[in-house]
């Protein structure tokens, strides 16, 4: 049976007054399990606080909406408290403890994409909470916790049992969490909407690539990412990852059409994509997108820290590298047709504005 590659929306896993946690299910999006990819979203209302937790998977967090504060504790390091806003990307290696807080009226929404090959469930993140009704220490006896923390058992019971919520809580309006420090952002977070552009095509589109050069922690999580915007009716050149990586794409804004072509030239997906959709391009399959009138923005991870792509159109495409005689023989066309083909798309572009 063929794998279903159609885009899917996330489903709510848990939540309450402070916000909710959503995830994509590998039963509905089989490529998650096949590719060992996890995908989830955290949405916090005003004063929503996501309790401290760590995960079984390395991730990249991307702020889709709003602003807030994130606490990050790398293994055997001190807590870093970072102001976050729309466009921020944070690399989260294994063993990192995080918490998230929104003190603004606008909902804070954070996307998580990551690698689950070492996780408990292929295609799903498993989070381990430090506190709350499902916190780690609810499973230990008071004797064990008392000895570990060097506290009276009565104090341990207060610590472990007072927080009855699961995962997300709503704090009182006057509650004060640590203030973010600007120096804590260095090497930890990068705003993709403000970073220097890696590609900027007039009336076509633009790209910021997240890699080991501009965010070194990407090397520890094991995959790169990019933020792409194409303008109304523009096209993203057909291309594929030539280093056997998967492409995991979340549509941030707008809508458009996508096609994926796989083995034996078979079109395996032809669909409309819209904000909130997630879809995955299998290894070596070729994908292309055309934006609707309002344009199309997406955030992707590629399962290698410094991805390499081969494009099938434009001056840097593989067609331009092949000799004329090879193209004539391969297409079985005359030199005139080959020359006409070669003379088009001479600019170094990966986005093509409407004619």
pLDDT per position as a tens digit, 131-181: 999 999 999 999 999 999 999 999 999 999 999 999 999 999 999 999 999
pLDDT at residue 106, rounded to an integer: 97
> Hey, where are the domains in the chain?
8-131+167-185, 192-352
> Under a CB-based contact definition with an 8 Å cutoff, are residues 286 and 254 in contact?
no
pLDDT at residue 39, rounded to an integer: 98
- How many helices (DSSP H) and strands (DSSP E) are in the chain? 7, 23
pLDDT at residue 347, rounded to an integer: 56
CA angle 50–86–121, rounded 5-degree value: 50
Radius of gyration of the chain (CA): 23
Sheet holding 58-65, edge to edge: 11-16, 19-23, 37-44, 108-115, 58-65, 88-92, 189-191
Name, in order, each residue with C-beta under 8 angstroms of 203's C-beta and a sequence gap of 6 or more: 231, 234, 353
Distance from C-alpha of 83 to C-alpha of 43, rounded to nearest angstrom = 16
Per-residue pLDDT 10s for the chain (355 aa) are: 478 999 999 999 999 999 999 999 999 999 999 999 999 999 999 999 999 999 999 999 999 999 999 999 998 899 999 999 999 999 999 889 999 999 999 999 999 999 999 899 999 999 999 999 999 999 999 999 999 999 999 999 999 999 999 999 999 999 999 999 999 999 899 999 999 998 898 888 999 998 888 998 888 888 889 999 999 999 998 888 877 678 899 999 999 999 999 999 999 999 999 999 999 999 899 999 999 999 999 999 987 777 677 777 776 778 888 899 999 999 999 999 998 888 876 555 677 788 7
| CATH architecture for the domain at 8-131+167-185 | Sandwich (2.60)
Is the pTM above the cut of 0.95?
Answer: no
Alpha helices in 163-211 (DSSP H): none
> Under a CB-based contact definition with an 8 Å cutoff, are residues 26 and 57 in contact?
no
pLDDT at residue 193, rounded to an integer: 96
Distance from C-alpha of 41 to C-alpha of 37, rounded to nearest angstrom = 14
> Under a CB-based contact definition with an 8 Å cutoff, are residues 268 and 287 in contact?
no
Distance from C-alpha of 64 to C-alpha of 253, rounded to nearest angstrom = 10
DSSP reduced 3-state for 182: helix
Name, in order, each residue with C-beta under 8 angstroms of 186's C-beta and a sequence gap of 6 or more: none
Q: What is the pLDDT of residues 49-59, one digit of tens each?
A: 999 999 999 99
| CATH architecture for the domain at 192-352 | Sandwich (2.60)
User: Can 8-131+167-185 and 192-352 be said to share one CATH topology?
Assistant: yes
């Amino acid at each position: 049976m063929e794998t279903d590659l159609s885009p899917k929306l996330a489903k709510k896993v848990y939540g309450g007054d402070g916000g909710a946690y959503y995830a994509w299910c590998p039963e509905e999006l089989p490529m998650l399990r096949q590719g060992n990819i996890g995908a989830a979203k955290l949405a916090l209302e005003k004063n929503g606080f996501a309790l401290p937790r760590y995960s079984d998977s390395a991730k990249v967090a991307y702020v889709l909406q709003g602003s807030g504060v994130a606490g990050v504790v790398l293994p055997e390091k001190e807590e870093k408290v970072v102001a976050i806003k729309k466009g921020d990307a944070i690399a989260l290696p294994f063993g990192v403890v995080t918490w998230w807080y929104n003190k603004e009226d606008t909902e804070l929404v954070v996307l998580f994409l990551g690698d689950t090959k070492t996780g408990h469930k292929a295609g799903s993140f498993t989070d381990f909470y430090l506190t709350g009704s499902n916190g780690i220490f609810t499973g230990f006896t008071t004797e064990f916790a008392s000895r570990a923390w060097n506290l009276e058992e009565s104090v341990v019971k207060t610590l472990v049992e007072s927080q009855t919520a699961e995962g997300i809580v709503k704090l009182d309006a006057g509650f004060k969490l640590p203030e973010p420090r600007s120096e804590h952002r260095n090497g930890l977070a990068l705003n993709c909407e403000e970073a220097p552009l890696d590609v900027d095509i007039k009336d076509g589109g633009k790209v910021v690539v997240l890699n080991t050069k501009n965010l070194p922690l990407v090397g520890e999580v094991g995959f790169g990412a990019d933020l792409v915007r194409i303008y109304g009716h523009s096209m993203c050149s057909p291309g594929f990852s030539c280093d056997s990586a998967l492409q995991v794409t979340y549509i941030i804004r707008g809508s458009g059409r996508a096609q994926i072509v796989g083995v034996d030239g078979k079109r395996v997906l032809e669909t409309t994509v819209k904000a909130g959709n997630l879809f995955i391009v299998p290894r070596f399959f070729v994908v292309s997108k055309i934006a609707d009138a309002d344009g199309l923005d997406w955030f992707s991870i590629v399962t290698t820290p410094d991805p390499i792509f081969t494009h099938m159109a434009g001056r840097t495409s593989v067609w331009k590298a092949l000799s004329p005689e090879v193209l004539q023989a391969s297409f079985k066309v005359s030199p005139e047709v080959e020359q006409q083909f070669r003379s088009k798309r001479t600019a170094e572009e990966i986005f093509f504005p409407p004619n």
